[in-house]
């Protein structure tokens, strides 16, 4: 049976409406209208806002006296090296040093059995005394013969013969004294001393061995460590600068470790080799260091920095500020929060400091870290604690 819907009376109450739906509908329209109204203002605000500032490290260009230096690799060499050997044949009876010991010139290092040499010396002394006694007797005889010959009591030839005997004995005594001195010298050679101040190396022979002057190994090698030398090389193009520096006075040389850069000692340039190595195109230099703390050791490789002159009042910046572009070097100059690429002409550049010959003035602020994110006109924000002066040049 079909269902019959109740009829709506014309004079009944109006249909019921949900009041929330119109509000929702009108509210959505209101939000949309508000968004449409607000959009032009937000876009304008966004357009007017500066790009985010890029954090960078900066430093200030300053004036400083900068040393002009040349750097090369050098090898430490002992100032003097002596292989201590015996000068006489004999048995090594005593070794009086310890390996690695610091010794002074004249310190006793070893002894050879002295008995044979002592006997030879005593014999030479006795022979000298014997001949001196004979000479004294001959001189008395000569005096008597001369007196008798003067009075014609004896032939003149007798006095002349006695005079020749005296001369012969005087010559014999001279030879005896030389033999005595030779024997004394050989006896002294049985006590072996250090010829220089230095450090002993490893012992090359043990007590009890028979030694000969012809032995090549010796007893020990003594190496002089204070002072000490370093032989280094520089390109031949540096020859004129080094010669001018030496002509002006002592040339300072700094020795540093190859790994780590720790300063080892400060010395002076001693000599320039008398020829250029044609094969490598380099000159050899020899420098002398006091080596007070034994920081330099023979055979060690070091880096040498030779100071040739000093640039007075140069404009300097940290070397990290320099960038290389297609047209040469440039830096990012910071002013009013904006970084601008500024071409510069650098002079000497070392590990820490660069000399700027043109393009910057003292007081200019340059970027030292973060350049890879910058372009000309970038907005930058210096990090806290930056804007410090350039580091002082080494040795200044």
- Does residue 273 register a pLDDT over 80? yes
pLDDT grade for 392, boundaries at 50, 70 and 90: low
- Confidence at residue 385, expressed as pLDDT on a 0 to 100 scale: 65
DSSP calls for 269-291? EEEE-SS-BTTTTEEEEEEEE--
Please give the average per-residue pLDDT across 157-185, as a whole number. 91
- Confidence at residue 391, expressed as pLDDT on a 0 to 100 scale: 58
- Does residue 351 register a pLDDT over 60? yes
Please give the average per-residue pLDDT across 109-136, as a whole number. 94
- H-helix or E-strand spanning residue 366: strand 365-369
- Does residue 30 register a pLDDT over 60? no
pLDDT grade for 389, boundaries at 50, 70 and 90: low
Mean pLDDT of the chain: 84
Please give the average per-residue pLDDT across 61-73, as a whole number. 90
What does the alpha-carbon distance between residue 391 and residue 309 come to, in Å, rounded to a whole number?
19
Least Cα distance to 101 among 202, 207, 226 occurs for 202
Q: Are residues 177 and 129 in contact, defined by beta-carbon separation less than 8 angstroms?
A: no
- Confidence at residue 387, expressed as pLDDT on a 0 to 100 scale: 57
pLDDT grade for 390, boundaries at 50, 70 and 90: low
- Does residue 37 register a pLDDT over 60? no
338-343 and 191-193 as β-strands: parallel, antiparallel, unpaired? unpaired
- Confidence at residue 186, expressed as pLDDT on a 0 to 100 scale: 94
Please give the average per-residue pLDDT across 77-86, as a whole number. 95
CA-angle at 393, arms to 390 and 396, nearest 5° = 130
- Confidence at residue 147, expressed as pLDDT on a 0 to 100 scale: 80
- Confidence at residue 236, expressed as pLDDT on a 0 to 100 scale: 93
- Does residue 179 register a pLDDT over 50? yes
191-193 and 210-211 as β-strands: parallel, antiparallel, unpaired? unpaired
SS3 state at 191? strand
- Confidence at residue 300, expressed as pLDDT on a 0 to 100 scale: 94
- Confidence at residue 50, expressed as pLDDT on a 0 to 100 scale: 53
pLDDT grade for 46, boundaries at 50, 70 and 90: very low
DSSP calls for 100-160? T-EE-TT-EEEEE--HHHHHHHHHHHHHHHHHHHHHHHHHHHHHHHHHHHHTTSS-HHHHH
What does the alpha-carbon distance between residue 155 and residue 320 come to, in Å, rounded to a whole number?
109
275-324 tens-digit pLDDT:
999 999 999 999 999 999 999 999 999 999 999 888 889 999 999 999 99
Please give the average per-residue pLDDT across 138-155, as a whole number. 82
- Confidence at residue 333, expressed as pLDDT on a 0 to 100 scale: 95
- Confidence at residue 81, expressed as pLDDT on a 0 to 100 scale: 95
% of the chain exceeding 90 in pLDDT:
67
Q: Which residue has the higher pLDDT, 150 or 369?
A: 369
Task: Tell me the chain's radius of gyration from C-alpha atoms.
Answer: 49
pTM for the model: 0.64
What does the alpha-carbon distance between residue 56 and residue 318 come to, in Å, rounded to a whole number?
14
- Confidence at residue 51, expressed as pLDDT on a 0 to 100 scale: 58
Q: Are residues 263 and 293 in contact, defined by beta-carbon separation less than 8 angstroms?
A: no
**Structure letter (DSSP) for residue 246:** H
Please give the average per-residue pLDDT across 232-253, as a whole number. 93
- Does residue 272 register a pLDDT over 70? yes
């Amino acid at each position: 049976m079909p269902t019959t819907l109740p009829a709506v009376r014309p004079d009944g109450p109006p249909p019921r409406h949900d009041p929330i739906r119109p509000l929702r509908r009108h509210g959505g329209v209101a939000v949309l209208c508000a968004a449409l109204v607000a959009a032009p203002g937000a876009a304008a605000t966004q357009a007017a806002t500066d790009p985010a500032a890029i954090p960078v490290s900066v430093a200030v260009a300053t004036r400083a006296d900068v040393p002009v230096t040349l750097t090369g690799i050098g090898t430490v060499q002992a100032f003097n090296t002596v292989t201590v050997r015996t000068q006489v044949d004999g048995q090594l009876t005593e070794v009086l040093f310890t390996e690695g010991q610091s010794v002074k010139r004249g310190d006793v290092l070893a002894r050879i059995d002295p008995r044979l040499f002592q006997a030879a010396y005593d014999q030479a002394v006795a022979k000298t005394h014997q001949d001196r006694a004979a000479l004294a007797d001959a001189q008395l005889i000569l005096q008597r013969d001369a007196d008798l010959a003067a009075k014609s009591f004896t032939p003149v030839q007798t006095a002349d013969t006695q005079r020749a005997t005296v001369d012969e004995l005087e010559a014999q005594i001279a030879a005896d004294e030389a033999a005595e001195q030779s024997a004394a010298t050989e006896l002294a050679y049985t006590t072996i001393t250090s010829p220089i101040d230095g450090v002993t190396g490893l012992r090359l022979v043990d007590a009890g061995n028979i030694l000969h002057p012809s032995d090549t190994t010796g007893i020990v090698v003594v190496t002089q460590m204070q002072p000490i030398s370093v032989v280094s090389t520089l390109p031949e193009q540096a020859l004129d600068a080094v010669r001018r520096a030496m002509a002006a006075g002592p040339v300072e040389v700094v020795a540093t470790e190859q790994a780590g850069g720790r300063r080892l000692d400060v010395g002076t340039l001693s000599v320039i080799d008398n020829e250029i190595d044609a094969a490598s195109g380099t000159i050899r230099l020899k420098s002398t260091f006091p080596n007070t703390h034994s920081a330099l050791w023979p055979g060690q490789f070091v880096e040498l920095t030779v100071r040739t002159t000093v640039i007075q009042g140069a404009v300097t910046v940290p070397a990290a500020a320099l960038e290389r572009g297609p047209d040469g070097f440039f830096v990012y100059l910071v002013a009013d929060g904006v970084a601008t690429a500024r071409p510069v002409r650098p002079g000497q550049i070392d590990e820490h400091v660069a000399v700027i010959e043109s393009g910057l003035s003292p007081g200019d602020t340059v970027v030292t870290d973060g350049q890879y994110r910058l372009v000309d006109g970038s907005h930058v924000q210096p990090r806290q604690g930056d804007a410090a002066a350039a580091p002082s040049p080494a040795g200044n």
